[in-house]
Structure 1
Amino acid sequence: MEAIIASAIAVLGTLLGSGITLAFQQRTTEKGHQFARDERLRQERLDAYSIYAGALVNYRRCLVHLWFCLHEQPPPEDADEVRIRAFDLRASAQEALFRAQMLTDDVALSRAAEEVLARITALYKVDTRTEVDERRRDTRDGIHQLVMTAKRHL
Structure 2
Amino acid sequence: MVVTHIFQRDSSKRAESFTLGQQLRSERLAVYSDFAGAVTELRRGQQDRWHRKREDPESPAHFEARTESYRLRGVALHALFRVQLIASCPEVVDAARAAYEKASSIPQATDRQELSTNGEQARERLERFIVLASTDLR
What CA distance in whole angstroms lies between the structure 2 residues aligned with 1:73 and 1:30? 64
1:105 deviates by: 2.1
Q: Which of 22, 33, 41 is the aligned partner of 1:50?
A: 33
Q: Go from structure 1 to structure 2 and tell me whether the alpha carbon gap of 1:74 and 1:126 turns closer, same or farther (over 3 Å shift).
A: closer
Cα deviations by residue, 1:6-34 (Å, 9 ceiling, x for unpaired): xxxxxxxxxxxx00000000000000000
Q: TM-score, normalised by structure 1?
A: 0.84
Q: Which has the larger radius of gyration?
A: 1
C-alpha distance 131-102 of structure 1, shift in aligned 2 (>3 A): same
The amino acid across from 2:36 in the alignment is: A
C-alpha deviation, 1:76, in angstroms? 9.1
Q: How does 1:141-152 map to 2 (within 5 A)?
A: 141-152=124-135
- Cα RMSD (Å): 1.7
Query: Structure 1 residues 76 and 134, CA, compared in 2 at 3 Å: closer, same or farther?
Result: farther
Q: Which residue of 2 aligns with 1:136?
A: 119
Cα distance in 1 between the residues matched to 2:125 and 2:46: 15
Give percent identity, aligned residues only. 26
Q: Which runs of 5+ in 1 are unaligned?
A: 1-17
Correspondence 1:93-108 to 2 at 5 A: 93-108=76-91
| Structure-2 residue corresponding to 1:33 | 16
Q: 1:83 aligns with which of 57, 62, 66?
A: 66
Q: State whether residues 69 and 75 of structure 1, in contact with CA within 8 Å, keep that contact through their aligned partners in structure 2.
A: no
Q: What count of residue pairs does the alignment treat as equivalent?
A: 137
